């Protein structure tokens, strides 16, 4: 039975060791999950875009999808951390706590078993000692009896010796009887304790050890289940993360990305027109008897101005509206003749048009810098005039949006200061109202400055949008006029009746580049698409805007394109832009389509 107790001791110790072994496994799994989540977060951090709020990188759908995938992966890493935390709290922590309690309980049960065994051993020793003492006393009594019988039978022994031996016999017999009674009591006590030990105490201890081991097994089963539940709980969220990645992949739109590239790099410039064919061989095939050479120059140089205007209007150039000088096509009248001493005439080709074009290229100033100067990083101007029209419009619109946001912040701050000042005036103990005046003044000054900046940039934006629209109109008209163009134009697009003046005359320069643009503005007024009523008065100090009074009725000739401005016209024909938020617009259903 003692060996079985030792076997149970070894078995319970093995159970605790196995429990701690599984706890170690869970701990290593938690470390793996934590390292995995950490590496995923580092990966996401490495590939996440590091842009400032003002970064103007185009947001392609493929890039947005990748950033969404990174966000989903970051959430996935967070779920791995949740798994590790759940395992650490629900499984590993519970195992370590239970292992400590199990060791304490096992130690207590084993101590109780050892104490019971020690008590039984002590009872056995007491019984054995009483037995040995009883046995010794019995031997002594037998010796005393033999001595008494020998002296009693001995005739030579004295009566005193016989009496002494008899007393010794009685004493030893009495002591033997006492030891016999004590031995019997100890034996009875030992038998009772032994029965109690083997039938009550030890079975109870074994039962407690059995229950302890079964609870250990149940705890392992619960931890196994908790280990799996920690993973199963995050599966729905992980599935959502994976679904988000799939949706991000489906959101990639190649056409939209292409459109973003087009919008990003669209310059707004018009492609250059076709170079005219200069036929220098016309006079080679003419005979000497051809009378066209000696025809009057004035008739040969007569050109329809309307036709030439149409041709000039159809030519759109890279650096502005003004066409580059071109040499006119050589005709017989564009040549001058020279006579030999014998009276014969021979044609001489003029080099003046080529010389004129070279001078104009050297001395002419383009309206905006070339692409090469843009690539080299030329000085950035405040109105972005160094950029192409389309990019300039985007930059101005972005600056207007930023200024509007700053103005809104300053307005909110002003309102807050005014409310605080009112509170201070009503409750002087809370603060001095005059202390807020400098800040209020500064805020008002900032608001005025921002409004001026907004008006200035809006004027530039209107100018850019007007030029882009005018250029589009000119392209449309040039396509029509190009079909009916006849005649000849000079290098500057002007006309002359003198052939010599055309060939040899100096190039005529325009007084201002805008004069050339103004010649091609459409004189026909735009049709009204509705009318509006001014809700608030508007000063209209900036160029291109239209002043109006409260309650004034205006015609709408162009709707708001999203920039906050509507183009309107008075009854007297004056046109300009007015703030959309200042008017109540009513559009005509029939005229809008026209």
Whether residues 446 and 537 fall in one domain: no
pLDDT at residue 209, as a whole number: 92
Tokens at residue 225, please?
A: 């289940």
* Mean pLDDT score, 234-256: 93
Domain boundary pick from 260, 290, 323:
260
349-367 residue pLDDT tens: 444 444 444 444 344 434 4
- Residue 161 burial (10 A CB sphere; 0-12, 13-18, 19+): middle
Residue 346: beta bridge partners?
338
* Mean pLDDT score, 569-573: 88
pLDDT at residue 2, as a whole number: 59
Would you place residue 435 in the very low, low, confident or very high pLDDT band (cuts 50, 70, 90)?
A: confident
Q: Does residue 21 register a pLDDT over 90?
A: yes
Whether residues 419 and 547 fall in one domain: no
Residue 564 near residue 480, CB atoms below 8 Å: no
Is the Cα torsion angle 308, 309, 312, 314 positive or negative in sign?
Answer: negative
DSSP character at residue 157: S
Whether residues 464 and 536 fall in one domain: no
Whether residues 457 and 568 fall in one domain: no
279's enclosing H/E stretch is none
Q: What are the Cα distances from residue 165, in Å, to 136, 150, 569?
A: 19, 10, 160
Would you place residue 471 in the very low, low, confident or very high pLDDT band (cuts 50, 70, 90)?
A: low
Q: Which of 458, 482, 586, 459 is nearest to 529 (CA)?
A: 586
Asked, for residue 207, whether it belongs to a domain, the answer is: yes
48-79 residue pLDDT tens: 877 655 555 557 888 889 999 999 999 999 99
Q: What are the Cα distances from residue 148, in Å, to 99, 145, 164, 425?
A: 72, 5, 8, 133
Asked, for residue 98, whether it belongs to a domain, the answer is: yes
pLDDT at residue 93, as a whole number: 92
Whether residues 534 and 465 fall in one domain: no
Whether residues 206 and 68 fall in one domain: yes
Asked, for residue 272, whether it belongs to a domain, the answer is: no
pLDDT at residue 396, as a whole number: 87
Whether residues 17 and 126 fall in one domain: yes
Q: Does residue 559 register a pLDDT over 50?
A: yes
Whether residues 97 and 232 fall in one domain: yes
DSSP character at residue 48: S
Q: Which position has the token pair 């207007």?
A: 400
**pLDDT above 90 as % of the chain:** 32
Domain boundary pick from 206, 237, 260:
260
Provide the domain count of the chain: 3
277-298 residue pLDDT tens: 887 777 775 544 454 444 444 4
Asked, for residue 461, whether it belongs to a domain, the answer is: yes
Asked, for residue 271, whether it belongs to a domain, the answer is: no
Ramachandran region, residue 536 (left: φ > 0; alpha: ψ -120 to 50; beta: rest): beta
Q: Which of 257, 228, 268, 539 is nearest to 388 (CA)?
A: 268
Q: What are the Cα distances from residue 339, in Å, to 331, 343, 351?
A: 19, 6, 19
Residue 568: beta bridge partners?
556, 576
More confident residue, 63 or 465: 63
Is the Cα torsion angle 571, 572, 574, 578 positive or negative in sign?
Answer: negative
Asked, for residue 307, whether it belongs to a domain, the answer is: no
* DSSP-derived secondary structure for 500-524: HHHHHSPPPPPS-HHHHHHHTS--S
Would you place residue 304 in the very low, low, confident or very high pLDDT band (cuts 50, 70, 90)?
A: very low
Residue 586: beta bridge partners?
531
Whether residues 145 and 20 fall in one domain: yes
* Mean pLDDT score, 90-116: 92
369-427 residue pLDDT tens: 433 333 334 455 777 777 777 777 888 888 899 999 999 999 999 898 888 888 888 88
Q: Which of 350, 549, 567 is nearest to 469 (CA)?
A: 567
345-348 and 530-534 beta bridge pairing: unpaired
556's enclosing H/E stretch is strand 553-558
Q: Does residue 221 register a pLDDT over 60?
A: yes
CA distance 538 to 547: 5
pLDDT at residue 374, as a whole number: 37
CA distance 191 to 123: 9
CB atoms within 10 A of CB 306: 11
Whether residues 466 and 539 fall in one domain: no
Domain boundary pick from 470, 500, 519:
470
Domain at 83, CATH number: 1.20.1270.60
Q: Does residue 341 register a pLDDT over 80?
A: no
Residue 529 near residue 592, CB atoms below 8 Å: yes
pTM of the full structure? 0.47
Domain at 557, CATH number: 2.30.30.40
pLDDT at residue 432, as a whole number: 84
CA 429 to chain centre: 47
Whether residues 457 and 570 fall in one domain: no
Asked, for residue 309, whether it belongs to a domain, the answer is: no
Containing structural domain, residue 23? 4-260
Whether residues 10 and 134 fall in one domain: yes
pLDDT at residue 313, as a whole number: 40
192-201 residue pLDDT tens: 999 998 899 9
Q: Which of 443, 446, 466, 459 is nearest to 399 (CA)?
A: 459
Asked, for residue 327, whether it belongs to a domain, the answer is: no
């Amino acid at each position: 039975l003692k060996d079985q107790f030792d076997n149970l001791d070894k078995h319970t110790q093995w159970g605790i060791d196995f429990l701690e072994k599984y706890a170690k496994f869970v701990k290593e799994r938690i470390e793996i999950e934590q390292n995995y989540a950490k590496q995923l977060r580092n990966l996401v951090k490495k590939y996440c875009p590091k842009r400032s709020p003002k970064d103007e990188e185009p947001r392609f759908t493929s890039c947005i999808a990748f950033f969404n995938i990174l966000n989903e992966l970051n959430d996935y890493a967070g779920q791995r951390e949740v798994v590790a935390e759940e395992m650490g709290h629900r499984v590993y922590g519970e195992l370590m706590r239970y292992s400590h309690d199990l060791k304490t309980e096992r130690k207590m049960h084993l101590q109780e078993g050892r104490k019971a065994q020690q008590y039984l051993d002590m009872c056995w020793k007491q019984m054995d000692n009483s037995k040995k003492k009883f046995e010794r006393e019995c031997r002594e009594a037998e010796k005393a009896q033999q001595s008494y019988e020998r002296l009693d039978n001995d005739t030579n022994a004295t009566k005193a010796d016989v009496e002494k031996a008899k007393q010794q016999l009685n004493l030893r017999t009495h002591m033997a009887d006492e030891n016999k009674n004590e031995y019997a009591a100890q034996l009875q006590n030992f038998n009772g304790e032994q029965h109690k030990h083997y039938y009550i105490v030890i079975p109870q201890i074994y039962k407690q050890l059995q229950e302890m081991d079964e609870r250990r097994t149940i705890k392992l089963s619960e931890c196994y289940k908790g280990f799996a539940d920690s993973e199963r709980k995050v599966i729905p969220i992980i599935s959502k993360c994976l679904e988000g990645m799939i949706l991000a992949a489906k959101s990639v739109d190649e056409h939209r990305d292409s459109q973003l590239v087009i919008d990003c790099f669209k310059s707004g410039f018009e492609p250059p027109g076709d170079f005219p064919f200069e036929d220098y061989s016309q006079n080679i095939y003419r005979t000497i008897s051809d009378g066209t050479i000696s025809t009057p120059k004035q008739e040969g140089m007569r050109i329809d101005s309307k036709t030439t205007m149409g041709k000039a209007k159809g030519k759109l150039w890279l650096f502005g509206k003004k066409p580059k000088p071109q040499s006119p096509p050589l005709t017989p009248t564009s040549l001058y003749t020279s006579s030999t001493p014998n009276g014969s005439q021979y044609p001489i080709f003029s080099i003046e048009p080529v010389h004129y074009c070279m001078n104009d290229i050297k001395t002419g100033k383009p309206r905006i810098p070339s692409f090469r100067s843009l690539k080299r990083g030329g000085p950035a101007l405040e109105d972005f005039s160094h950029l192409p029209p389309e990019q300039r419009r985007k930059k101005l619109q972005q600056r207007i949006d930023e200024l509007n946001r700053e103005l809104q912040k300053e307005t909110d701050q002003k309102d807050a200061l005014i409310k605080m000042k009112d509170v201070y005036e009503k409750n002087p103990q809370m603060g001095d109202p005059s202390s807020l005046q400098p800040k209020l003044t500064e805020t008002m000054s900032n608001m005025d400055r921002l409004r001026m900046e907004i008006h200035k940039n809006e004027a530039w934006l209107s100018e850019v949008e007007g030029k882009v629209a005018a250029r589009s109109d000119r392209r449309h008209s040039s396509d029509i006029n190009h079909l009916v163009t006849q005649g000849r134009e000079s290098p500057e697009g002007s006309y002359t009746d003198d052939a010599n003046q055309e060939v040899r005359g100096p190039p005529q320069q325009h007084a201002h580049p805008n004069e050339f643009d103004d010649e091609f503005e459409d004189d026909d007024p735009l049709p009204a698409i509705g009318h509006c009523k001014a809700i608030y008065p508007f000063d209209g100090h900036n160029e291109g805007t239209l002043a109006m009074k409260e309650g004034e009725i205006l015609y709408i000739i162009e709707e708001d394109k999203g920039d906050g401005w509507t183009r309107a016209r008075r009854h007297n024909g004056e046109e300009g832009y007015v703030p959309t938020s200042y008017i109540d617009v009513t559009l005509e259903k029939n005229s809008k389509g026209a």
